[in-house]
Structure 1
Amino acid sequence: MMFARLPRSPRGLARAAAYLGACAGLLALAACSSSPPSRFYTLGADAAPVTARSTAAPALLIEVPPVDVPSQVAKNQLVVQTGPTQVQVLEQDRWASLPGDEIRRALSSDLTQQLGTIDVYGTAYPEGTPVYRVSVNVQRFESWPGSHALIDAVWSVRAVRSETVMTCRSTVSTPVTAGYDALVDGHRQIVQQISTQIAAGIKAMAAAAPRVATAAPAKNGSGVPARIAPATVPCPLPVGPSAALDGAGGLAGTLVGGLAGTHTGAQG
């Protein structure tokens, strides 16, 4: 005698569905656990021992606003060159923060250490202390694994509350070995070289500022103060064999005082 198979109970169907869902979850978990972990890089210097610092007010202050970088590399993933017209975006190798933020933070740290000062960007500061604003525009940020790292940047230093401006351009390239650790370390060394140039420019401007401020304006035949010829401070010399400034002498920053107009630098 033949018997017809009875349909499964709703409880049996629910149990089968739950079993299939659990299996799918386990497979997804196994797939996720087998994917390579992400690695994060930073341009910050190696951690140094914390030492006591003087609480005396610094002779000058700096402001380091956000740094502009090319849109092609303005992302969390490392972007490396694979050819003259080709790049590769690395999903597992990433910056700890956006490259512009990494450069700004590294510059700020280097400059405050070299100048014995603090970065007051976004904070209040004393009225009588000279402040120098450092603006950086990175025009090329190239990463060639196993070959070299390169940064081409135009930067300026402006004395806040005055018309004193120095504008320069630094192009720095350094060879690197294979591996992304070496590539990031190459960029860190480049930022340190550029910050050393900027620090030298700030020191030169600070040294020349008192001479401009105390110079008595000459008068012409009619008794009207004559236009003061601006004192010029050349861009600091390149640091290291792989560094270069724009042209043979770079851009010469111009210190402007008295009745002179604003200058952003002239070819040296």
Structure 2
Amino acid sequence: MQQWKWALGGVVLGLLGGCASLPTQYFSLASPGQIAAAESDALPWSADYGMRLKVVSIPAEVNRLQLLVRDPAADPSVEILNQSLWAAPLGDQLQSALAAQVSTLLGAPDLQQMTVSPSMPVRDIKLRITRFELIWGQGTRLDAVWVDQPPGQNPARLCQAHISTVGTQPEVASLVEHQRQALHQLAASIAGAGVPVGSPVSGLVLKGGCT
């Protein structure tokens, strides 16, 4: 009997050891195109103004290194994935991804990344991410509101976008890729003054506009 107990204890410890050794995965919202542009020395700026975009807030519950995923079957509870981490704080990733993409789409230098003439006109964009969700078996949700202040004496615009994607694959990497696509569409909307630019990718729904 004592030997049986020791054997059972060894099995339990082995299982616990296996759980403890699960590899940690890191995820980034930066697209390959964004990384290539950041490494490029030739930046073709076509706009006659600079751009300054600031993500001023994101939902507090997702402002962590661990990915947070909703399970519709267990709603309203959420799952914190301790083995699936953002490669950098989520707020920083959203800031860098959106600023880089909007800068490229506008053809305007990102004034937070480089020094230009103080006399250069500035387009100021202040953005709040109000919803950032990864949902098992459904896809992603991304909502944002922003104030777009064009250069000169032009009036500021208040804009919003509600973006959802559809994805049934129960994989973290798939959900991150869907949210990356949603961010790309959000950047296109910001660059187009809140008006949808081009055709959204398949399975992506975009609503929004400016006042």
TM range (shorter): 0.7 to 0.9
Larger Cα Rg: Structure 1 or Structure 2? Answer: 1
For residues 222-241 of structure 1, what are the structure 2 equivalents within 5 Å?
Answer: 235-237=194-196, 240=200
Give the one of 53, 59, 64 matched to 1:70.
Answer: 59
Residue aligning to 1:20: none
The answer (yes or no) to whether the contact 1:81–1:88 under 8 Å persists in 2 is yes
Identity in percent: 24
For residues 111-130 of structure 1, what are the structure 2 equivalents within 5 Å?
Answer: 111-121=102-112, 124-130=115-121
Residue aligning to 1:183: 175
Aligned-pair distance for 1:237?
3.5
Residue aligning to 1:97: 88
Greater strand share, 1 or 2?
2
Given the two structures, how large is their TM-score scaled by the length of structure 1? 0.62
- The 3-state SS of whatever aligns with 1:121 is coil
- The 3-state SS of whatever aligns with 1:64 is strand
CA distance in 1, matches of 2:50, 2:210: 24
- The 3-state SS of whatever aligns with 1:62 is strand
CA distance in 2, matches of 1:124, 1:113: 17
Letter in 2 for 1:48: A
CA distance in 2, matches of 1:32, 1:63: 48
Encode CA deviations 1:179-207: one digit per residue, 9 max, x unaligned: 01110001100010010011112xxxxxx
The answer (yes or no) to whether the contact 1:67–1:103 under 8 Å persists in 2 is no
Encode CA deviations 1:134-178: one digit per residue, 9 max, x unaligned: 111111111102211010111121136646311111000011222
CA distance in 2, matches of 1:147, 1:32: 30
Residue aligning to 1:141: 132
Report the CA distance shift for 1:96/1:52 in structure 2 as closer, same or farther (over 3 A): closer
Residue aligning to 1:17: none
- The 3-state SS of whatever aligns with 1:242 is strand
Report the CA distance shift for 1:57/1:236 in structure 2 as closer, same or farther (over 3 A): closer
Letter in 2 for 1:179: E
The answer (yes or no) to whether the contact 2:196–2:206 under 8 Å persists in 1 is no
Give the one of 24, 37, 41 matched to 1:38.
Answer: 24
Encode CA deviations 1:203-227: one digit per residue, 9 max, x unaligned: xxxxxxxxxxxxxxxxxxxxxxxxx
Q: Which runs of 5+ in 2 are unaligned?
A: 1-12
Report the CA distance shift for 1:152/1:51 in structure 2 as closer, same or farther (over 3 A): closer
Aligned-pair distance for 1:103?
1.0
Across the aligned residues of Structure 1 and Structure 2, the Cα RMSD in angstroms comes to 2.8
Report the CA distance shift for 1:37/1:61 in structure 2 as closer, same or farther (over 3 A): same
Report the CA distance shift for 1:34/1:148 in structure 2 as closer, same or farther (over 3 A): closer
Q: Select the structure with the greater relative contact order (CA < 8 A; seq sep ≥ 6).
A: 2
Letter in 1 for 2:68: V
After TM superposition, which residue ranges in structure 1, 4 or more long, deviate above 6 angstroms?
none
